[in-house]
Amino acid sequence: MNKDLEVPEIIANLKAGVAHRDDGKETLARKSLEESLGLIEAKYTELMDDLNDQRLLYETTLEHSTEIENELSVKNDEINIMMQQMKKYLSSQLYDLIVHGKLAADTNQNRRKKLSIFFSDIVGFTDLTDSVEPELLSNLLNQYLNEMSKIAQKYGGTIDKFIGDAIMIYFGDSDSADDKEEAAKCVLMALEMQSMMKVIRDDWKKQGINHHLQIRIGINTGFCTVGNFGSAERMDYTIIGGQVNAAARLEHLSESGGIMVSGSTYLLVNELVEADYRGKVHVKGIQRPIDVYQILGRKDPEKAVVSLLKERQDGFELKPILFRADYASRLERDEFTAALQKALDLLKNAPEIEKKDISGE
C-alpha cells in the first residue's frame, strides 16, 4: 500500500477491493466490512470537518489577536503621549509619586516635614505690560520660566507653582532628605538663578527690552505641612504653614537682584556662602521675630570645600560628585577642583601601613 496516499483514498481503495470480491462467498462478512469502512469514512469526514472548524477558529482568533495587539499598541502610544503631556503640568517629583502609586488622591494624608522654601519674582515685570506687546511679553516670560525650571530640576527642587513671574520651589520632601544638603541646594540654586538672570537680561536687550529687570529671592527653612489640599474633586499637592509665609515675606524684603534667607537657613549653609546680617523681622504666623541675612555669594572654593570633603582622624570622607559639563557652573567646577585637589594632598601625606610579615619566619 502506498504510504503517500491520503486517508480518503485508502478507504476508497479498500471499498473497491471489497466490491470486486464477488465470488458468492462470505457475503455477510463483505457487507459488514463495507459498513465498517463506511462508518470509518463518515467518522473521518466528521473529524476533518471539526479540524477545519478548529483551523478556521484558530485563524480567526489569531487575526483578532493581532488586531487587539495593534489596538493595544496604539492605545499605549496614546497613553504615553498623554503621560508626557501630563508631566509638563506637574513637578517631576509629584509625577513620579502619582505614576508609581505612592500618592493617594486623599486630602486626609498630610504630614509634617522640614523643608527649605524658595520664592522669587521679577522686580518691575508688571511695568512691561504697558510698553510691550502681549505676544512678546508671553515669550519673554516663558523663556525666563524655562531657564529657571532647568536650574531647579538640576538641583532637585520641587517646583510647586508659577504665579505670573513668581516661582515657588521647595526642597526636602523625600524621606531620605538631609536638611543641610537640601538647604545648600536651595541656596546654590538661587545663586545660579541670579547668574542666569544676567544672561537672560542680555538676551532681552537684543530683543529691544532695555528695562534692567532683576529678580529678588527669599528662602526659609522650617517645618511645613505637606500634602493634598482642596476639595474631593479638585486638589493640589502643596505645602502650607507659617514657614511658607516667612519665605514669601523674605522675598518681598529682599533687594532687587538679592537673596534674603532666614537665620534657620543660614545656619545650614554658612560654610558655603558669605552673608550680611540684616537684623530681625516679624513675620505673620510666626510668634518670634526671625534673623535675616542677605546672601553675598559663595565663599572661596578653598573654604567651601568642606561641603564636599570631610576630614577624619583616620583619613577623609569625600561625598559623591556628579559632574555634567553641560550644567556645571564655574563656581561648581572650582569647588570640585579644590575638593579633589585637597583629597589628593591628603592621600599623598597619609602614612603608609607597614607591611606585616605573615610568613611565620
Say how far residue 277 (Cα) sits from the centre of its chain. 37
| CA angle 223–154–112, rounded 5-degree value | 15
Q: CA–CA separation, 119 vs 140, rounded Å?
A: 19
> Who's near 338: CB < 8 A, 6+ residues apart?
301, 302, 304, 305
Tell me the pLDDT of the chain averaged across its residues.
83
How would you classify the pairing of strands 309-312 and 315-318? antiparallel
Over residues 301-358, the pLDDT tens digits come to 555 555 677 787 778 888 777 776 765 666 667 777 888 888 888 888 888 776 555 5
**pLDDT band for position 220 (cuts 50, 70, 90):** very high
Q: Which has the higher per-residue pLDDT, 289 or 337?
A: 289
Over residues 222-272, the pLDDT tens digits come to 999 999 898 888 888 899 999 999 999 999 999 999 999 999 999 999 988
Q: 189-193, 283-287, 327-331: which range is least confident on average?
A: 327-331
CATH number for the domain whose boundaries are 112-299: 3.30.70.1230
Q: Write out the three cell numbers for 121.
A: 519674582
**Grid cell 513675620 in the structure block, residue:** 283
Continuous segment of H or E residues that includes residue 166: strand 166-171
DSSP string, 32-95: HHHHHHHHHHHHHHHHHHHHHHHHHHHHHHHHHHHHHHHHHHHHHHHHHHHHHHHHTTS-HHHH
